[in-house]
Structure 1
Amino acid sequence: MRMMTGCRWRRGVAALLLTLPMATMAGCDERSVIAAERPNGSAGGLDPHGRQACAEFRAGWRQATDAPARLLLADDVGRQARRSDNGEIVASSAAMGRSAKDGGRAWQVAAADLERACQQTRAGYHQPVLPVTG
């Protein structure tokens, strides 16, 4: 095998330098499409912890008629929501936790805000009719 000398060597390096960026750019389009298909790291538009927080709320809001039940629900929802990347879910679950002990209007508003945040992120969430608690 002969060694590349002179002009051949330069042409080989130039060919390598020109084809290397083209090869890397071809892969960028495919990765961009994949990233665009999964907003916020998931197919549903909400990360797994946010989906779990919405699911916990959906499963437990009917039983949250007294202070201990509201506190338990707020704790379960808040535990998942704090790990979420969605700021609205985090903020509304924190507000729900602050109002869980007293209940009343503040609890209803905070629960409605969490419900709205879950709906806006298209988490497969159906609007519940919130109970009137005092």
Structure 2
Amino acid sequence: MKINPKIGIDQLVFGMKQKDVVALYGNPDKQYKDDDNNVIYLYNAQKMRLTFYDDEDLRFGYVISSNVDLELFSEKIIGKSGTDIEQLLAGKGIKSMEKENFDTVDNYFNESNWMIFQIEYDQVIRFELGAVFNDKDEFDWKFKA
């Protein structure tokens, strides 16, 4: 599953509607609403959690995945160390990483690409990717229906 920073993941493009996602992956294994009334789709086989933002006309804007086949810049990331991730990103000119610690998990966050690498026991266990904002501080939706 290819990660496309600022665009989406695999065949998913930020800005898609639920019907567009269902056309690609079928109905989700589980669906619910979070505390902000966003719609969440869970796909077990792909190990993906997709968020459709309520206040953005239910457009797809965020993905969390622990799929072992996640690839960023043609390299699998699940299981890589934090140092490996920093080197991978630096090799592509992405040097700004904020690190936060939450008990046993470290989050490596890059705001310009809205990527979070969750690291536990010095291995990436989960990846998050969000839609980015444009110069007007609005979502920069990449999907054009």
Same structural fold, with TM-score higher than 0.5 when normalized by the shorter chain: no
TM value normalised by structure 1: 0.26
Tell me which protein shows more helix as a share of its residues: 1
Tell me which protein shows more strand as a share of its residues: 2
